[in-house]
Structure 1
Amino acid sequence: MMVQDSDIQQLARWIVQSKKTVIFTGAGMSTESGIPDFRSDQGLWKKTDPMEVATVEAMNHRYDLFHEFYSIRIKNVQKKKPHTGYSVLAEWEKKENLTAVATQNVDRYHRKAGSDNVYELHGALEAVRCIRAGHSASVEDFLNKQPCSQCGSSLRPGVVLFGEMLPQQSWENALNQIQQSDLLMIIGTSLQVHPVNMLPSMAKGKVVLINRDDIQGSYHFDLILKGSAEKILNDVNQRIKEQKNQ
């Protein structure tokens, strides 16, 4: 899948010119680091629909299955590492070419790569807390099936389950940043999940899509780059450096 060099150069120019660039990432950003898509058919989960395990009902009434599913997810995230595209975004933030990142992903790879201003719209696997009172706990305690040290209830990862609301503050902050942006870059998401699929229409500036696949729906994008997020981000970063040296 070849991306036109003229499109890479155009995006690089827009980033340099932009006063407020916001990035919105989805599963496609993580899969390039080897993290399987939430909905993919993976070994153990071919017989059990993950959409039924990642629920409040499963957490409360099928905890063993719930715990097994999330233990596998956490261990998988720990085994892999952020690809170089994440480092590019962190570099842009430090050079003030990027204002904020909003993400659907729960792996914390943006933070691990060095980004600071990150809004985790679906929470984070490693933000473990207890079910009853929300007391913080360690990832190791969850993996070892330890109870909460303060109230004795079971532990859970800090992700948004089906049946739960998005974290209100993160959502409002991300929405505010996107509405104020003059460049919104959407990376690696099919825009299938409500309400995050509304975010492109909230932007008043330019909207760019970087994705391997076509998007279903009536969205307007000022530029579409089809291909690997890691490669495209590195190519754009190279063009930015060249433009600044001219």
Structure 2
Amino acid sequence: MMQHVTLNSHSSLQDIADMLEEASKVVVMTGAGISTSAGIPAFRSKNGLHTTAGAFLSTPKPGYRGRPPSAQDMFESGVFSDQHLRLAFYELCTRLRNKAKKCEPTKTHEFIGRLRELNKLARVYTQNIDSLEGKDAQPGSSQPWNVLSLSLGRYVR
């Protein structure tokens, strides 16, 4: 039976720990904040991807005569209809992936991994694209990470 628990401003860390210990399954919902301490910028923060991407995107590319793409352009559906935008998008994704590869999971990622090890993790819903959620999973783990890619419409590992 699923129990819905609501935390309020009077809940202590001990209250939360007690609830997690008693729970048989836990659903985790995360945002970009769990990766910022690892060095992954949030998209819209002061030094986030929208800001930093603008600097490299504004550098003229050989053969491109249009206006320089903006960071916002990189996340619009039209990015795939223009060759130069598509190449800029792939370059941006490659930069982000290379940065994420150098980062280590945060304490929050480790906590999520611990919930998985204890077989308490039912689901993780995240908007993050850095893959740090699964970076701590051990090869050959009995519970590998299954990721549902909304853009691909299938599970990936």
TM class by shorter chain equals 0.5 to 0.7
- The match for 1:17 is 22
Scaled by the length of structure 1, what TM-score is found? Answer: 0.43
- Using the alignment, how far apart are the partners of 1:14 and 1:59 within structure 2? 46
Scaled by the length of structure 2, what TM-score is found? Answer: 0.64
- Using the alignment, how far apart are the partners of 1:117 and 1:79 within structure 2? 20
Structure that is richer in strand per residue? 1
Q: Could you tell me how far 1:34 is from its partner in structure 2?
A: 0.8
Structure 2 residue 99 is the aligned partner of structure 1 residue 94: no
Letter matched to residue 109 of structure 2: Y
- Using the alignment, how far apart are the partners of 2:53 and 2:71 within structure 1? 10
Letter matched to residue 56 of structure 1: S
- Unmatched 5+ stretches in structure 2: 1-8, 59-68, 138-142
- The match for 1:59 is 80
- The match for 1:30 is 35
1:82 touches 1:112 (CA, 8 Å); kept in 2?
A: yes
- The match for 1:71 is 94
Write the deviation string for residues 129-186 of structure 1: whole angstroms up to 9, x where unpaired: xxxxxxxxxxxxxxxxxxxxxxxxxxxxxx84xxxxx84x67xxxxxxxxxxxxxxxx
Partner residue of 2:132 out of 106, 109, 116: 109
Letter matched to residue 125 of structure 2: A
- The match for 1:8 is 13
Superposition RMSD on alpha carbons, in Å? 2.8
- Unmatched 5+ stretches in structure 1: 124-158, 161-165, 171-246
Letter matched to residue 50 of structure 1: A
Q: Could you tell me how far 1:28 is from its partner in structure 2?
A: 0.8
**How many residues are matched?**
124
Q: How does 1:132-211 map to 2 (within 5 A)?
A: 160=151, 167=153
4+ residue stretches of structure 1 with deviation over 4 A?
117-120
Structure 2 residue 67 is the aligned partner of structure 1 residue 49: no
Paired-residue identity, %: 23
Secondary structure in structure 2 of the residue aligned to 1:74: helix
Write the deviation string for residues 197-236 of structure 1: whole angstroms up to 9, x where unpaired: xxxxxxxxxxxxxxxxxxxxxxxxxxxxxxxxxxxxxxxx
Q: Which moved more, 1:72-81 or 1:109-118?
A: 109-118
Q: Could you tell me how far 1:80 is from its partner in structure 2?
A: 1.4
